[in-house]
Amino acid sequence: MNLRKSMLTAAIILILAVAAIVGIYALGTDDAGDDPGGDTAEMINASVTITFGNDTTWSYDNISISTPNATVYGLTMAAARAGNFTVDSTYYGQYDSNLITAINGVENGHDGMYWQYWVNGAYAEAGADTQPVHNHDVIAWKFTGYS
């Protein structure tokens, strides 16, 4: 009788464990059942141009990034992967933001010029990692002096 009681207890524990796992998974999916956690990442397509101080310009059209990375920084890093170049940045805690300090080895401060960016022609006044990017935005990085 003791063996039967132990087997019954083990079976009940197994059933409860399976039910708990199924319940947790069911609560963490969207209606289609294919997105654990409920976060649906959308893809954003935008473009990046990078103009160096020597009139060299690189263009990366239709760079795709997911919405959790849809910032100027995320888009710039995606362009760097596509174009096989480096992007360096420094984190500033007082602003809780990263400042782009070099693109492809061209560093801020050289000849009084710095990396600055525009979104759809408007000068940006936020850190690249805090500036959202939307579909069809055009990000223009320019290595230039302050006006």
Q: Is 120 left (phi over 0), alpha (psi -120 to 50) or beta?
A: left
pLDDT, one tens digit per residue, over 84-126 is: 999 999 999 998 999 999 999 999 999 999 999 999 999 998 9
**Predicted confidence band at 27 (pLDDT cuts at 50, 70, 90)?**
very low
Domain span at residue 26 reads: 1-39
Query: pTM above the 0.85 mark?
Result: no
Q: Which tens digit of pLDDT belongs to each residue from 50-81?
A: 999 888 999 999 999 998 879 999 999 999 99
Same domain, 123 and 53: yes
Encode the chain in three state secondary structure: CHHHHHHHHHHHHHHHHHHHHHHHHHHCCCCCCCCCCCCCCCEEEEEEEEECCCCCEEEEEEEEEEHHHCEHHHHHHHHHHHHCCCEEEEEECCCCEEEEEEECCEECCHHHCEEEEEECCEECCCCCCCCECCCCCEEEEEEECCC
Instruction: Tell me, yes or no, whether 58 and 34 share the same domain.
Output: no
- What is the C-alpha separation between 144 and 55, in angstroms, rounded? 11
Count of domains in the chain? 2
Q: What is the pLDDT of residue 140?
A: 98
My answer on whether 67 and 108 are in the same domain is: yes
Q: Are 74 and 93 in the same domain?
A: yes
Same domain as 2, residue 62: no
